[in-house]
Amino acid sequence: MKFIRKTSIVFALFVFVATGAFAKNPETKGKKTATPIELSTSEFLKKVHNFVKSPNEWSYLGDKPAIIDFHATWCGPCKLLAPTLETLAAEYGEDIYIYKVDVDREPDVARAFGIQSVPSLLFIPQGASPQMGQGNIPMASLKKVIDEFLLGKEPKK
């Protein structure tokens, strides 16, 4: 009986530690952690662009710049890009939106933007025309695009 009780206590302690009840990461304490936001077609129409009502005229509906990651669950380069976008979402969370659109689940959105390969990234600044990038773009290049193109900061020298 003692063995079962000790085993239960050890197991409960393990569960608490594994779920973070006792573990605290000082680097994330008090920080907001943003993640890329997966969009359905209806959400895309409300938050980004209503391509049904305005198929020939671009009109961004967001209140801050955005990146749209057109991806697929089976895509190797998309899987490699995902952690980079998560890092950027945490770093720039207050300044930009990072959205994800699964081209297999949301084919109408992919078709509206002419997506033929994944990953494809749509960079949307406030008050200017968006630009498309393709492939697994490196972190440094993405930061440069975010800082200079989306946020309008002066290039670093």
**Catalytic residue among 66, 67, 78, 146, which?**
78
**Whether residue 87 lies in the annotated active site:** no
Is-cis flag, bond preceding 36, omega within 30? no
Contacts of residue 104, defined as CB under 8 A and 6 or more positions apart, other chains included, come to: 72, 73, 74
**Cα Rg for the chain, rounded, in angstroms?**
20
Residue 85, classed as helix, strand or coil, is helix
**Whether residue 78 lies in the annotated active site:** yes
Residue 132, classed as helix, strand or coil, is strand
* Residue 70 bridge partners (DSSP): 101, 120
User: What is the pairing mode between strands 120-124 and 97-102?
Assistant: unpaired
**Catalytic residue among 66, 68, 75, 85, which?**
75
Looking at the annotation, which residues are catalytic? Answer: 75, 78
